[in-house]
Chains A and B, each alone.
Chain A
Amino acid sequence: MSIVTVQLGQCGNQIGHEVFSALCSDIRGTHGLCSKKENQSYHDSCKERFFCEEESGVPVARAVLVDMEPKVISQTLSMAARSGHWKYNSHSHFCQKQGSGNNWASGYSVHGPRHKEAIMNLVQKEAEKCDRLGGFFTMMSMAGGTGSGLGAFVTQCLRDAFPTSFILNHVIWPYGTGEVIVQNYNSVLTLAHLYQSSDALLVHENDVIHKICAQLMNIKQISFRDVNQVIAHQLGSVFQPTHTAGEGSGYSRNPLGDLMETLVAHPEFKLLGLRNIPQMPENSLAYSSFSWPGLIKHLRQMLIANAKMEEGIDWQVRPPHHGSSIPSTNKPLHFNTSIANLVILRGKDVHGVDLGSFRDPSLYTAWLNPQDAFRAWETPRAFNKYEKSASLVSNSQFLLKPLDSIVAKAWNMFASKAYLHQYTKFGIQEEDFLDCFTTLEQVISSYTNL
């Protein structure tokens, strides 16, 4: 099954490019550390998922690029083509001239309806190229105007046009200390709207990735490109082919479906966090060796202590004792309760890795069957030059604090009515804001009371 990616706005397009780059570079690599047959299978599966063939033999990304100003798309298209190893379809993009001005209302209420037909036509074309459509992967930031506002509108259109397809939104949460002053308004409006039409929101926070670049990757002058490359690596570690039904089952044909089935049991809980270890500069890879038990132990502690990366983990945090019924208020502080988790293992000696510690019922809420709350995917094929790589996609309280922080700042600004005139002039009224605040307070409350 194939996934159609929709890249929205500057951020969505910049990251999208890095993702396809990483996927392509991974399958071209000779460091798979597995049998030729396995490698070929992986290669074919990845190609089916993300690329389609052209006469020239150069893989063409299954993607639609959307932006309200031309510079980023122009750059993205040419960078991909210059690589010589993959490219975008030269017609699968839509752009305008004047941008959305960081205004969610402009993206949603003005650009959305105005350009709906043109954009959905492109999406339809890409969807038709797939033998079997596995769903949509949209990429956007929620801080600006296009990715956020137009992105929310397009997601709604996707839902309307493809009611039975899976829609996964990859959302970038901006640096806490502003990239955009109205980012918290744009974020609240985006998240509340996406919650209605999307199946799940897979989140990356700029602050967290920045720290990874600084402390783990040892990058001195961190650029957005560096940040985007780490994000691309993490996304690749989730979406490159895996065996989801155990050894010998062949690569999964339905990655988005499998993901949703595992992680999103209840429509009130759609926020997914992502962790990937190990993470290090490329030139250190050859000198490092990890053991699976070590990696699993770290990943599990990152989960329960809500650590953002593998350094500075609080090892003191422990799960509560599992009893017949524990009221949520008795749970130890700082313990991150999960609804469901997905662990993905790639690389050497991956079979038979003991994941019992992730099946511990005390990690999870009481209302899901422990067997249903955890899944593992794996492949012996190493990813992106990492001999061993472990990823965790988690539906847990990972994003509770950051979400609460965004809502608090947005509410604070809303109470003063600052900037509201910029939104009302494009048709987003105070009541619309209030509805979105209500939706998100509900989400916060639900996750808090796990």
Chain B
Amino acid sequence: AVSLPFAVGQCGNQVGCRFWDLALREHAAVNKKGVYDEALSSFFRNVDTRSGGNGPDIYKGKICSLKARALLIDMEEGVVNEILQGPLRDVFDSKQLITDVSGSGNNWAVGHKIYGCQYRENIVEKLRKMAEHCDCLQCFFIIHSMGGGTGSGLGTFVLNLLEEEFPEVYRFVTSVYPSGEDDVITSPYNSVLAMKELNEHADCVLPIENESLFEIVNKINQMINSGKLGSTVKQSLVTSSAGSAKTLQEKPFDAMNNIVANLLLNLTSSARFEGSLNMDLNEISMNLVPFPRLHYLVSSLTPLYTLADVNVPSRRLDQMFSDAFSRDHQLIQADPKHSLYLACALLVRGNVQVSDLRRNIERLKPSLHFVSWNQEGWKTGLCSVPPVGHSHSLLALANNTCVKPTFIELKDRFMKLYKKKAHLHHYLQIDGMEQSCFSEAVSSLSDLIEEYNELDATKGGPRIDPSRLKIAV
């Protein structure tokens, strides 16, 4: 089953670039015989390029030329051009790119209304072509940031489009939220306008905050440099491109983008590789979204650095589970342990068995607060193939009320600007934009926050089980 990623905007494409590189590396490590298999087909097409350019797809047999199944969209050329001139140029062809020159000026309305309208047909056509090449399309991934204009505006336009054209296919969105110190002044507007779209049209959203990625990268660098763990800690393969399929020059955001790329790889690992308890993407949506609007999942990835020694005693394995629930491994600024869980998923990769899973769930459960109607709400997956450079790894996805503060802060920053009507005219002058777009967007966000409030209110309260059906004896 195919997962089709759409990288929209600068951030989206930079993450996307890391993602494709890591995916190639991961499959190369597993696929020793160079045979195009089911696992590869979820992200790559196998194209016969012997007759030059664009040959037919080859569905079985030896790998000829791998082309990523993806759509790269940006309203500026810089990032996409770099990708096309870089080591990954053979992985994409021009039919997968949609670019323009002038950018969106950090304006959601430009991205959503102007470019959306302008490129709609182009996007639909390319999308249909890509879908034709897949025997089974299971889900779409949108990778973007919320704070700018293209990723945020055009990205959410694409989200709408996907729902219209392929309503049955799941829509996962990986959204990078701006921090408080973001240098784009209008990022709160862009983010809140985009949030409304995510509320209404996404099946699952994985919010990411740059601050968290930054702190994680810093901590790892500190640990490596301080020599605290001695020479047993190698340069992390989660955050660096060491050992990549193609050699790349490290750029400042690369380590942070690597984390997000690894998140996506791990998320799809059980759908691609075998294991004793498979977890497909549609299962993630099924189990982690109890009510349609509550589809924001806090993610954490462990381990974040590689240990050189091969024998990993189970104590270290258990540490991996503990870390997944600690504040500093979350990819947003949140603390799930002290908030309320609606649902939790654990996807383990590598030589980890069901007893390891059970032991750790039993161990960690008492310190976590689960909603009354889902006291034992765990979704688990075991994938036999570990990520490159690790013997095992864990991805935790939590539907937890700890996302609430992120949304509240976003709303506050929005209101600060909105009350003064700062920069509003840049948006309102765009065709199709009215004041109501803003009020509806912030209202949608407020409603969402309120739903989390109501759930939080039940935390720690008395547990009253509903009375069972009575049967006449």
Contacts and interface: CB of A to CB of B under 8 A. Distances in A.
Interface of A: 10, 14, 69-72, 74-75, 96-103, 145, 175-182, 210, 213-214, 219-225, 227, 407-409, 411-413, 415-419, 421-422, 434, 437-438, 441-442, 445, 449
Given A98-B1, A177-B361, A177-B362, A416 B276 contact: no
B280 interface: yes
B136 A97 contact: yes
Interface stretch (B150-158, B299-307, B402-410, B462-470): B462-470
A223 B376 CA distance: 21
Given A175-B358, A177-B361, A437 B380 contact: no
A14 B282 contact: no
B47 interface: no
Nearest to A99: B280
Interface string B363-401: 001000000111111111010000000000000000000
B354 interface: yes
Contacts of A213: 355
A411 B468 contact: yes
A214 B380 CA distance: 20
B276 A214 contact: no
A449 B372 CA distance: 30
A214 B343 contact: no
B447 interface: no
A438 B291 contact: no
Contact of B379 (A96, A180, A422): A180
Given A98-B1, A225-B276, A445-B473, A415 B373 contact: yes
A181 B343 contact: yes
Interface in B280-339: 280, 282-283, 285-292, 314
B276 A14 contact: yes
Contacts of A412: 372-373, 465-466
A182 B286 contact: yes
A408 B465 contact: yes
Contact of B287 (A181, A214, A220, A223): A181
Contact of A71 (B135, B274, B374, B473): B274
Contact of A422 (B277, B289, B375): B289
Contacts of A179: 277, 378-380
A72 B276 CA distance: 9
A210 to B, nearest CB: 7
A447 to B, nearest CB: 12
Nearest to A448: B473
A102 B373 contact: no
B286 A102 contact: yes
Interface string B258-278: 000000000000000010111
Contact of B278 (A71, A182, A421, A441): A71
A418 B292 CA distance: 10
B377 A178 contact: yes
A101 B290 CA distance: 14
Residue from the set B274, B356, B469, B470 with the largest chain A CB neighbour count within 10 Å: B469
B138 interface: yes
Given A221-B356, A408-B465, A178 B276 contact: no
B136 A98 contact: yes
Contacts of B343: 181
Interface of B: 1, 38, 135-136, 138, 274, 276-278, 280, 282-283, 285-292, 314, 342-343, 353-356, 358, 361-362, 365, 372-380, 382, 465-466, 468-471, 473
Contacts of A415: 373, 466
Given A178-B380, A179-B277, A412-B465, A418 B471 contact: no
A182 B343 CA distance: 10
B430 to A, nearest CB: 34
Nearest to A213: B355
A75 B374 CA distance: 34
Interface of B: prevailing SS: mixed
| Residue with the highest number of chain B CB atoms closer than 10 Å, among A409, A412, A438 | A412
A221 B351 CA distance: 10
B313 to A, nearest CB: 12
9 contacts: A72-B278, A98-B136, A101-B282, A101-B285, A102-B283, A181-B287, A418-B342, A422-B289, A434-B469
A408 B468 contact: yes
B276 A224 contact: yes
A221 B1 CA distance: 31
B469 A438 contact: yes
B38 A181 contact: no
B285 A223 contact: no
Contacts of A75: 274
Contacts of A449: 473
Contact of A441 (B138, B277, B286, B469): B469
Contact of A69 (B278, B288, B292, B358): B278
Contacts of A219: 355
A421 B291 contact: yes
Nearest to A14: B276
B365 A416 contact: no
Contacts of B274: 71-72, 75
Nearest to A449: B473
Contacts of B380: 178-179
Given A177-B362, A182-B287, A224 B353 contact: yes
A74 B274 CA distance: 10
A261 B48 CA distance: 62
Nearest to A144: B283
Given A178-B376, A221-B356, A415-B466, A422 B362 contact: no
Contacts of B361: 177-178
B348 to A, nearest CB: 12
B353 A223 contact: yes
Contacts of A441: 468-471
Nearest to B458: A416
A431 B283 CA distance: 24
A222 B277 CA distance: 13
A438 B472 CA distance: 11
A412 B278 CA distance: 27
Contact of A210 (B286, B355, B378): B355
Most A-side CB within 10 Å, residue of B136, B138, B276, B354: B354
B38 A176 contact: no
Given A69-B278, A441-B471, A177 B365 contact: yes
Contacts of A445: 471, 473
A419 to B, nearest CB: 5
B353 A221 contact: yes
Nearest to B314: A221
Given A178-B380, A220-B355, A411-B469, 16 more contacts: A99-B1, A99-B283, A101-B280, A101-B282, A177-B365, A178-B376, A181-B287, A181-B374, A408-B468, A412-B373, A416-B372, A419-B290, A421-B291, A421-B292, A434-B469, A438-B469
A411 to B, nearest CB: 6
Contacts of B377: 178, 181
B355 A418 contact: no
Contacts of A227: 354
Contacts of A225: 276
Interface centre among A214, A413, A441 (most CB of B within 10 A): A413
5 A-B pairs with the lowest CB-CB distances in the bound complex, closest first:
A101-B282, A97-B136, A222-B355, A178-B378, A418-B290
Contact of B374 (A69, A221, A418, A442): A418
Contact of A438 (B287, B342, B471): B471
A180 B353 contact: no
B282 A223 contact: no
A179 B279 CA distance: 10
A422 B471 contact: no
B286 A103 contact: yes
Nearest to A438: B469
